[in-house]
């Protein structure tokens, strides 16, 4: 139970709760992040973000994007080097990762340029405009397109999402006497919001969680009383969208998260929902509504299952540290030493960033999920093979 001064969006959500008599947490999260214009992701300001000392991996250093570009080049090659090739990035923000990927790709494969189309899917209008301006300034206006939503229809290429899917709304389910209840959001005593345990909403019911747990070797009756299980119909829906939009090619999803068996271990059963606000991380989604970022770890098993149900195949699920090492991040760093005009401080900055990107206690523990469609018979991708290249 929380109470703080109310933001304008908190007041609006409070009115909906009065009307409805309570809303699911997924509905609350949907509004807090995506309401137009007051939701967190609609704001013109760039607020300090989540995790990794409040910057994302691409913001850390261009080597991250260049390493990803090596993976994408490999996907292109596995697809038979098609002359027309689309990269669709969800949550492209101001285009930093897009720029590094395009630069890395065109450096290695200049022949790709005429057929390359990079789609930045970013729902924030301000970030999208800023990204397009920057891309036009650096002469990439002909390669990049930006949109709030992907166009319907299918394409051949690669789908990419870095730290986006963890912002899709979740429902919070609670284990009570061996069965599941749901945490709904109601008005708190002092004007804020509070949790209220009730029966499952129809959306949560439709996720068939008891069966899902059984399939992952977990007995609901044996979970500790009060365990929290987060479920996301929105994540399942988004996975369906990416699976159906790809005719042939690959997807790469990088995020906080675990496969179900790890997520359902006792110490994670308090839930992974976090708020990022005023430079700190907290466990109170009800403060600074619309001004704080909300995230929950992905259940990668549910993503894989939804993808497979729509014709995709698992290429691999690994940590960011292993993935980056395998696609040659270390090699890229070593190559920097040979670059003409390289200075010690530029090199050390890159080296420090590489350590942070692969730090097992930090960003290195993010997960990287590879999926493919229509690629039966293609050899495995280097990023997901067991033989690591050593630094």
Ligand X SMILES: C[S@@+](CC[C@H](N)C(=O)[O-])C[C@H]1O[C@@H](n2cnc3c(N)ncnc32)[C@H](O)[C@@H]1O
Binding site for ligand X (CB under 6 A): 41, 49, 56, 58-59, 90-91, 93, 96-97, 121-124, 127, 162-164, 167
Locus of tokens 């009756």: 221
For ligand X, the closer of residues 34 and 347 by Cβ is 34
| Secondary structure string (H, E, C) spanning 353-385 | HHHHHHCCCCHHHCEEEEEEECCCCCCCCHHHC
For ligand X, the closer of residues 57 and 105 by Cβ is 57
C-beta of 277: minimal distance to ligand X in Å?
14
For ligand X, the closer of residues 30 and 385 by Cβ is 30
For ligand X, the closer of residues 39 and 383 by Cβ is 39
Number of Cβ within a 10 Å radius of residue 230: 22
Q: How far is CA 371 from the centre of its chain?
A: 14
C-beta of 167: minimal distance to ligand X in Å?
5
C-beta of 79: minimal distance to ligand X in Å?
23
- Cβ atoms of 83 and 109 within 8 Å: the answer is no
SS3 content of the chain, % helix, strand, coil (to 5): 45, 25, 35
C-beta of 254: minimal distance to ligand X in Å?
8
Q: Is the dihedral of CA 203, 205, 206, 210 positive or negative?
A: positive
For ligand X, the closer of residues 4 and 43 by Cβ is 43
C-beta of 65: minimal distance to ligand X in Å?
9
Q: In sequence order, what DSSP letters do the residues of 152-195 get, joined into one string?
A: SS-EEEEEEEES-GGGS--EEEEEETTEEEEEEEEE-TTSSEEE
Give the helix/strand (H/E) hosting 225. Answer: none
Cα–Cα dist 17/12, whole Å:
9
For ligand X, the closer of residues 94 and 223 by Cβ is 94
For ligand X, the closer of residues 127 and 373 by Cβ is 127
163 CB-contact burial (10 Å; exposed 0-12 / middle 13-18 / buried 19+) = buried
For ligand X, the closer of residues 130 and 227 by Cβ is 130
C-beta of 57: minimal distance to ligand X in Å?
6
Cα–Cα dist 107/65, whole Å:
13
Give the helix/strand (H/E) hosting 317. Answer: strand 313-319
Shortest CA distance to 146 belongs to which of 115, 116, 113, 119? 119
Using omega within 30 degrees of 0 as the cis cutoff, is the peptide bond preceding 58 cis?
no
C-beta of 128: minimal distance to ligand X in Å?
9
C-beta of 123: minimal distance to ligand X in Å?
4
C-beta of 44: minimal distance to ligand X in Å?
11
For ligand X, the closer of residues 167 and 185 by Cβ is 167
Cα–Cα dist 350/240, whole Å:
37
C-beta of 198: minimal distance to ligand X in Å?
27
Q: How far is CA 21 from the centre of its chain?
A: 32
Residue nearest to ligand X (CB): 91
- Cβ atoms of 366 and 254 within 8 Å: the answer is yes
Q: Which of left, alpha, beta for 110 (phi over 0: left; psi -120 to 50: alpha)?
A: alpha
For ligand X, the closer of residues 119 and 163 by Cβ is 163
């Amino acid at each position: 139970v929380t109470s703080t001064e109310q933001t304008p969006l908190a007041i609006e959500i409070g009115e909906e709760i009065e009307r409805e008599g309570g809303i699911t947490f997924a509905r609350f999260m949907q509004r807090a992040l995506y309401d137009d214009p007051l939701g967190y992701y609609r704001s013109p300001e760039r607020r300090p973000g989540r995790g990794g000392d409040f910057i994302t991996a691409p913001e850390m250093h261009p080597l991250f994007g260049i390493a990803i570009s090596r993976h994408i080049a490999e996907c292109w090659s596995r697809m038979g080097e098609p002359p027309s090739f689309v990269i669709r990035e969800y949550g492209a923000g101001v285009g930093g990762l897009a720029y590094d990927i395009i630069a890395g790709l065109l450096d290695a494969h200049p022949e790709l340029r005429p057929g390359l189309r990079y789609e930045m899917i970013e729902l924030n209008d301000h970030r999208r405009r800023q990204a397009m301006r920057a891309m036009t300034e650096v002469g990439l206006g002909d390669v990049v397109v930006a949109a709030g939503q992907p166009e319907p229809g299918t394409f051949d290429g690669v789908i990419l999402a870095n730290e986006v899917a963890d912002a899709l709304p979740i429902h919070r389910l609670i284990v009570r006497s061996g069965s599941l209840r749901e945490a709904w959001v109601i008005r708190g005593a002092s004007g804020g919001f509070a949790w209220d345990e009730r029966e499952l909403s129809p959306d949560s019911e439709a996720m068939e969680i008891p069966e899902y747990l059984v399939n992952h070797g977990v007995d609901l009756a044996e979970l500790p009383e009060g365990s929290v299980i987060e479920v996301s119909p929105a994540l399942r829906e988004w996975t369906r969208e990416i699976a159906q939009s790809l005719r042939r090619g690959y997807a790469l999803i990088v995020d906080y998260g675990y496969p179900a068996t790890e997520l359902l271990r006792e110490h994670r059963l308090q839930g992974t929902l976090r708020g990022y606000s005023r430079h700190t991380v907290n466990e109170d989604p009800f403060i600074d509504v619309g001004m704080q970022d909300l995230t929950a770890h992905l259940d990668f098993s549910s993503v894989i299952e939804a993808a497979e149900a729509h014709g995709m195949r698992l290429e691999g699920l690994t940590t960011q540290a292993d993935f980056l090492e395998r696609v040659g991040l270390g090699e890229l760093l070593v190559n920097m030493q040979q670059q003409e005009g390289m200075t010690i401080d530029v090199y050390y900055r890159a080296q420090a960033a590489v350590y942070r990107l692969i730090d097992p206690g930090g960003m290195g523990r993010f997960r990287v999920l590879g999926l493919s469609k229509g690629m039966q018979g293609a050899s495995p991708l280097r990023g997901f093979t067991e033989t690591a290249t050593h630094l």
